[in-house]
Amino acid sequence: MSAGFVVGIDSRPVPLIEQVEAGPDAYVLSVTWKDGGRTSIDLSGWIALHDIEALRVFSVFNKPEIGEHGDTVHWAGDEDLSIDSVHLELLAEQQRFFGIDELVAWQERHGLSNQEAADVFALHVNTWINYRNGTTPVPRALAIACRAIDRDPLPIAAFLRPRRPGRPPAAAE
């Protein structure tokens, strides 16, 4: 490992920012990425979590600036009032819609049956099926948990109870 560098498990390149502006809603940034994508990111939770009083002032927040290398956004020329592009991209990913298609894709990625997926989250299988078919919207807590498991599948190992296909032997008699 190189001195001074920490190597993580995320091998994605650092996203670079082409343009940034304060969004139409409070504490929202509209970011145009150099790769051509554009997204809106709500920073209200990030500001509160880091207790950044200066960014709660709209006249400050409404004037974001791109850092010298395109990998940060800062305010008032102050590097202490900044967020890096990696965290902006991660926040955007977490805020992205998570519905039926995302839930089905998650389940397929992890190779779980409906019963196994329901068991991992301590849900009744009918509740899981209602999420999958759109009868019931996917709750935010479930979306957060699914995304967290994508980053670290250890909870599946902790709570998965594999099921055998078919009917239980007693029921077959």
Q: What is the pTM of this model?
A: 0.79
| Contacts for 62-66: CB closer than 8 Å, 24+ residues apart | 62/22, 63/22, 64/20, 64/21, 64/22, 64/29, 65/20, 66/17, 66/19, 66/20
Q: Pairing mode, if any, of strands 38-42 and 72-75?
A: unpaired
Residue 37: CATH number of its domain:
3.30.2020.10
Percent of the chain with pLDDT over 70: 88
Q: Are residues 70 and 137 in the same domain?
A: no
Q: Region 107-130: what's the mean pLDDT?
A: 96
Give the integer Cα–Cα distance in Å for 72 and 67: 5
Which residue in 1, 4, 64 sits closest to 28, CA to CA? 64
Give the integer Cα–Cα distance in Å for 164 and 135: 27
pLDDT band of residue 8 (cuts 50, 70, 90) is very low
Q: Are residues 34 and 82 in the same domain?
A: yes
**Per-residue pLDDT for 6 more than 60?**
no
pLDDT tens digits, one per residue of 12-47: 789 999 999 998 888 999 999 998 899 999 999 999
Q: Are residues 107 and 88 in the same domain?
A: no
Q: Are residues 108 and 69 in the same domain?
A: no
Structural domain boundaries enclosing 149: 100-159
Q: Are residues 31 and 87 in the same domain?
A: yes
Q: How much is the pLDDT for 137?
A: 97
**Per-residue pLDDT for 5 more than 80?**
no
Residue that terminates a domain, selected from 70, 95, 120? 95
pLDDT tens digits, one per residue of 48-97: 999 999 999 999 999 999 999 999 999 998 888 999 999 999 999 999 99
Residue that terminates a domain, selected from 95, 112, 147? 95
Residue that terminates a domain, selected from 67, 95, 123? 95
Q: Which helix or strand (DSSP H or E) is residue 56 part of?
A: none
**Per-residue pLDDT for 4 more than 70?**
no
Q: Are residues 108 and 87 in the same domain?
A: no
Q: Are residues 87 and 33 in the same domain?
A: yes
Q: Are residues 25 and 81 in the same domain?
A: yes
Look at the alpha carbons of 43, 46, 48, 52 in this order and tell me if their dihedral is positive or negative.
negative
Domain count, the chain: 2
